Structure 1
Amino acid sequence: MSIRPGMFLPLANSIQARVTLAVAAVSVLVVAVIGIGLCLLIRHRVETEIFQETRRVATEWIGAMERGQIPPPMPTARVPLVQLVNSRGQVVAAGPMAGDRPLSAVRPTENHIEDMTECPKGKPCVMLTAARVPALQSQELWQGEPHYIYTGTDQPPAVRGHRLELLTSAGGVLLVTLWTWTTWRATGRILQPINTIRQRMSEIAPQDLSVRVPQPSGQDEIAQLARTANETLDRLEAAVTRQREFAAVVSHELKSPLAGLRTGLEEALLFPEIDARQAIVRSLPAADRMQQIIDELLTFARLRNTPCSPEPVDLGALVRAEAAARTAGVPVCTRTQPDVLVLGSRVQLASVVTNLLVNAQRHATRRVEVSAERAGAQAQVVVQDDGDGIDEKDRERVFEPFTRLEAGRRLDPHGSGLGLALCRAIAVAHEGSLCIEDSPRGARFVLRLPLMTG
């Protein structure tokens, strides 16, 4: 099979592969340290137990030696090799398994015991303890000639050669392999929902935004990611739907004045007897309406996409100034508190108050009441008229762009239906709210904005 350049790039970039490799590297290091420590511990433990036994046998034989008498060797099952060797290297006494040749050439000094491992050529290694017979006993038994005792046993298979290291390495390799395989499978299962989410996200097209990613149960990070992705898709679908509806409504609203404008101009071209100046004059209202709609649409889009430049605004003074400017129509009564300060755009907030007052005067019978006061941590502006009011089912619809109720169309035939939508957009841009609340008579518009602190 030919290997193409970049063939392993997806695997190298895989989180599963990187995590598995990292765990494998750490596990190799950990297992190596544990294996080395385990080998040293086993060797030390085995050798310590054997040398303790060989020393015991050697000291007991030395202690059993009396004047003029050498007791026979006292080998045990664990220490079968026992020898007594003189200074010339001759075996004086030995156990049945020790043979007639010295087990070692090591000659320890008096009152000193040496532990060693001898490995004769072609024979198994032997673990020995070499001890010198004390001078007092040597004087009594051999006229002071030094004698040496060797006690030992064959090296156990567990520590013979490199068998222990090989067994430990094999166990370590098996453990690392199992650990790495488990990590690969576990990481794959953990990342499987993410791969599913990625595949489902790749299927989402602009024509169909209703597709949602599968959401696992629980509260872990993957479940929260899926939940957040679905919430984002919900908002995206809602925004695109609003955008499409908005574009459709804009097209519909612009179609009527554009058709009227085109009709007037074509009529002037088709019929020479029609005065061109009068045709232009008759077409100007349609052009004015188109300009009004376009200006309000630009303002609406600017509010959604461009943050305002904040400044301290006294809502009480702003309400009094805007109410004083409304000299035409039904009278406007004001009630304000001093120092109702908010942070925002004075021009935009004045536009909200003006729109609300114009709307209230249009529907009022005798008077309009407007107030600006504090309400906890918020500033509250209330515009109340004494007209027919707005049905509860229509209280949210009136804030949608180009939505005009029957009463509004009758009282203001040339309106665009964007005024209240602009007011709410400005309120939201100032981290506030604009809504219609219950009232005994008429419509009660309530604007709430956070009070300026500090």
Structure 2
Amino acid sequence: MTQEWGERARYWRDRLLVSVRGRATVISVGVTALFLSVILVLGLLLVRDWLENRVARSTESTAEHITFDFLRRGGEGVLTTGSIPTRPGDAPLAQIVSTDSRTVLAASASARGMPPLGYIRRTSGKLVIDEKSCPDFIPGCAWVFGMRARTAPGGQDVIIVAATPLPGLLSVWALPLTLALVLLALLALVAWWTWHTIGRAFTPIDRIRRELADLDARDLDQRVFVPQTHGEIQALGETVNRTLERLEEATDRERRFISDASHDLRNPIAGLQMQLELALEEVDEETRPMIRSALRDTERLNDIVIDLLELSRLDARAPQPVEPVDLAELARREAERRTDGARITTRLEPGVVVRANPVRMVRVLGNLLNNAKRHAESSIEVTVRRDAGMALLQVLDDGHGIPPEQRERVFERFARLTESRERDPQGTGLGLPIAREIAEIYGGSLTIADSAKGACFVMRLPLAEDGGSR
């Protein structure tokens, strides 16, 4: 589980920080976050100032109304009842406070029982309170406006105070929370839009990439999708197709050259081989070793030409007639033909039939047996059976085996491991590649499986419909 999460983390890290789509999204979100943060902060500060000014004007108007009413009545009606009459729409909090700021002489209904909302020191010389205040006895903060009435009726010297709660948006926690929510919503929108837009722009490129990945050396006649975008992506598709066209032409010329050269070389090589065989019977004993060496080289050259000709046919996918082939019977005949060298044992399940070209199947089995004999110490085992709805052919030798890191290399053309060159310097390095090509042509595979000792070559082919159930 930990490894799986680690792989997912690396995948998304590369997706976001390495890919063009991810980097563009991250950069867009980063720049947008910076820009929107400045805009939103400035906007909310402007809104806060506007609301504070509005509340301050409303509070000042309420305080002036109460002061005017207090002076008009001479203070009698207010101070005797202890309640401040307010108009609808006035601030709900209003008080008349003594100048020592300790006694509330009168209060509105919502401000009863509260300590003084504001005070003015006698020594300060101030006549007006106009400030934001956040006392403990009211929720949040409020704007407080008060006026000192020195010439009040009856010789009283009082402070008339009004307070209006500020909107919740201006509280300490609401401002950053609102900013964060708005910012996150906008950033999510920008991220989705950037990712989606760039993804749609890259869709043709992904299609071109997938089509190129599906091509191999035998599908060069295929062409990739060209989007009609009239831009760089269309030019990319057209360039890829022109490159594939040139590559196809070059490959066709190479195949024709190999095929023509192989055909042209077979006759002179066959003539040279026949002359060397005749000369071997007529020369003296001193010259005979040299003739035998030349004959072996001629045979190796003939094998190379035959393998090159077969590879040319396989690469060109030249059609060959197919028919039901009994793998067990084929393996039995090939094993009986090879009486020299390592002992061959068989485990053959009858009725394992595939549809293929018999000559090519003989070639595959012959190449696998020749390779096994080259490396076996004493024995080779050939197995034919059904396995998971497929025909399985297995050739196992008791040699030194092939290291796991070298198992795919042996299927490369002309590739030969050190042990193979030491055991058979005359080999061409084309037998196993040809065998795998033939297996893949008929919808199968040729791989090297793990074994306790030696090398285990496993070929799987689809069972023939008329023979798979027998």
TM-score by length of 1: 0.48
Computing the radius of gyration over CA atoms, which structure comes out larger, 1 or 2?
A: 1
